[in-house]
Amino acid sequence: MKRVVIIGMGFGGIRAARVLAGKGLDVVLVDRNNYHLFQPLLYQVGTAGLEQESIAYPVRAMAREWRGTRFHLAEVAGVDFPAREVVTGNGRIPYDYLIIGAGSVTNYFGLESVERHAFDLKELVDGERLRNHILTAFERAVVEPDPAKRRALMTFVIVGGGPTGVEFAGALMELVRYVLAKDYPELSVQAARVVLVEAFDRLLAAMPQELQVYTLEKLRAMGVEVLFNARVVDAEPERVILHDGAIIPAHTLFWSAGVKAAPLAATLGVTPKPGGRIPVEPDLTLAGHPEVYVIGDMAHLEQDGAALPMVAPVAMQMGTYAGEAIVAREKGETPKPFRYRDRGSMATIGRSAAVACAFGMKFRGFSAWLVWLLLHLYYLIGFRNRIVVMLNWIWYYWFHERQVRLITERVEE
């Protein structure tokens, strides 16, 4: 029986495993975490909207439903291509086919001080850590006698005007204005600032202009300060420095300005493309290694003159393709080249407000928000998770209340 090893249980790895299950192959799933994380909703953990457990699902619970699959909890250190073995901290795993989908990490573009002081959202623990920090900042503000320091504690700088930055800014502003304002009556919460910093002259650059304008108008109406053509170049615990020397007194810096391939990519001995991504053949295989597939954020593949974006839909389609390609090759068939089918993009701004572009149509407002909700519920793994998330959203919609306002770790600052 031939063995397929899948590195990474993200969106791509999960899809590949589903396709390969029950196909007469020995499928080994490898990840350093024992769960699949639904990363698009991680910002809602950071803004006290969802419990962290509701957006994660155990890999072993999935694997027991997939015939012929088993899971290894391990950190992958590299791949020995000549020996056809995956090198992990727990030993080596031989393979006949290998699918590499280790995902991406935050790209700070060499800004060491920013990397030290900024928060990001890539791992499940990041959401809980960010929530602890935000709530602790308000607790500290309550007892802070200096008005300037108190205002800095309630100032939040968000870098990056893409979907993550926009969604986090909207969710954070709603948390402050509708929830924390009631929790902290002794504070003038209206003085809290949420500042969204974007290096270019628009938000959601991949969307049509009218949706960009709607997003900007909606965020500003909510109270979010949007700074265009601005770059963060330095950071300290109590302030953020922009490229023009301007200083924003703030205790919280959130970075969503870019990602790069996971560190595993640098160990593969391949000359990387921008963002550390690995160039792949039209069938997603690694040049010189037709048994190795690279998928998701790690893969660099150009289509229609541009590299495919590092987003979940690309990873899902690549994962499905890689699984089907292996099955086809075992039948003696030659798979067709991979082609990504762009079904559109969307972003939520706040309660009853979102933007979406799909199949040549543009949506905004309540209809786009409803579509966003339904699609995210559909792609969540686990019936319980869907119910829990849906109930949290319903509760917040009707009562403007977020139940997960818990400081689960006290950090000395």
User: The domain that contains 314 carries what CATH number?
Assistant: 3.50.50.60
- Is there a domain that residue 138 lies in? yes
| 38 belongs to a structural domain | no
**Per-residue pLDDT, 200:** 96
pLDDT of residue 303: 96
33 three-class SS: coil
Report how many domains make up the chain.
2
Among the three residues 271, 303, 331, which one is the final residue of a domain in this structure?
Answer: 331
Are residues 243 and 313 both part of a single domain? Answer: no
97 vs 5: CA distance, rounded Å: 6
Q: Does a structural domain hold residue 412?
A: no
Q: How many CA atoms lie within 13 A of 346 on its CB side?
A: 28
Residue 412: predicted pLDDT:
65
97 and 126 belong to one structural domain: no
What pLDDT sits at residue 222? 96
Residues 316 and 274 placed together within one structural domain of the fold: yes
Pair 160, 190 in one domain: yes
Max Cα-Cα span within the chain = 74
Of 10, 63, 55, nearest in space to 376 by CA: 55
Mean pLDDT by 10 residues, the chain (413 residues): 97 98 97 97 97 96 95 97 97 98 97 97 96 97 95 97 97 96 91 96 95 98 98 97 97 97 96 97 97 98 96 97 98 96 94 90 94 95 96 92 90 65
Return the amino acid letter for 391: L
Same domain, 299 and 315: yes
Containing structural domain, residue 239: 112-257+351-399
222 and 289 co-located in one domain = no
In angstroms, the Cα distances linking 214 to 176, 304, 405 are: 22, 29, 30
Q: Quick one: 247 and 327 in the same domain?
A: no
Instruction: Mark which of 331, 361, 385 sits at the end of a domain.
Output: 331
- What percent of the chain stands above pLDDT 90? 95
| Pair 374, 238 in one domain | yes
320 located within any domain = yes
Residues 90 and 130 reside in one and the same domain: no
Are both 292 and 316 inside the same structural domain? yes
Q: What is the pTM of this model?
A: 0.95
pLDDT of residue 413: 58
Q: Is residue 342 part of a domain?
A: no
Whether 146 maps to a domain, the answer reads yes
Can you give the pLDDT at residue 361? 85
- Alpha-carbon span 164 to 9, nearest angstrom: 21
| Residue 332 identity | G
* Domain of residue 226, CATH code: 3.50.50.100
Is residue 371 domain-resident? Answer: yes
Q: How far apart are the first and last CA of the chain?
A: 56
The catalytic residue positions are 167
Residues 187 and 317 in one domain: no
Same domain, 209 and 148: yes
